[in-house]
Amino acid sequence: MEKKDIKVIARTALSLFLICAVATGILAFVNSVTDPIITANNEKAADEARLQVLPGADSFEEKEKDGTVYFIGSDENGTVGYVFTTSASGYGGNIEVMTGIGKDGTVTGISILTINETPGLGMNAKKNSFLSQFIGDTGSFSVIKNSEPGENEILAITSATITTKAVTNAVNSALEIYKTVKEG
């Protein structure tokens, strides 16, 4: 190899290294500037979701039991209920659900935090018509198809039974955690 070829290769490699170093520095700077903003926005969204699933609560206190983080919602008279975030495996991946449970064990609200299901089918789990089936009931829920749901029965979303079962399993997990918290 000639000296001229080595110089060209070295110059090209050095140029690429400098470009990559500058790009990395810029990305690190942008990340350091935007990370606190993103974190604050995520916390704000979580606070709003907690207020949505546990109406009547003015404030929330974060607690932990056996590695599970949950929130106790309170108003001026004391504890209103609890908020749990659970997940279950759906058709398109994990579905993360925030469930509000009143101090009497009644489901007060549900919010889907993370879902990646089929548009027009599984994504219907985010609709109020589906989520409202859980509200006002206590105990464990089961999924049914093609009939009128009774107490603690959830009518499956048409062509999205896996998604329906995943959301139901996540809510049932929250109810189990609630029982553990209340007993302890």
Question: Per residue in 63-108, pLDDT tens?
Answer: 988 888 899 999 999 899 999 999 998 888 899 999 999 999 999 9
Where do we find the tokens 């039974």? Answer: 161
Instruction: Identify whether the C-beta of residue 137 lies closer than 8 Å to the C-beta of residue 156.
Output: no
pLDDT at 1 over 80: no
pLDDT at 113 over 70: yes
pLDDT at 14 over 90: yes
Q: Which of 101, 113, 114 is nearest to 55 (CA)?
A: 101
Q: Which of 10-19, 30-39, 139-148 has the lowest mean pLDDT?
A: 139-148
How many CB atoms neighbour CB 40 within 10 A? 10
Long-range contacts, 41-48 (Cβ 8 Å, 24+):
46/98
CA atoms lying within 13 Å on the CB side of residue 72: 10
Where do we find the tokens 């789990």? Answer: 125
pLDDT digits (tens, 9 = 90+) for 126-141: 888 888 999 988 888 9
pLDDT at 150 over 80: no
Q: What are phi and psi of 129, to 5 degrees?
A: -60, -30
The number of helices, as runs of H, and strands, as runs of E, in the chain is 3, 7
- Alpha carbons 63 and 53: distance in angstroms, whole number: 17
In what order do the strands lie in the sheet containing 93-102?
59-65, 68-75, 78-90, 93-102, 107-114
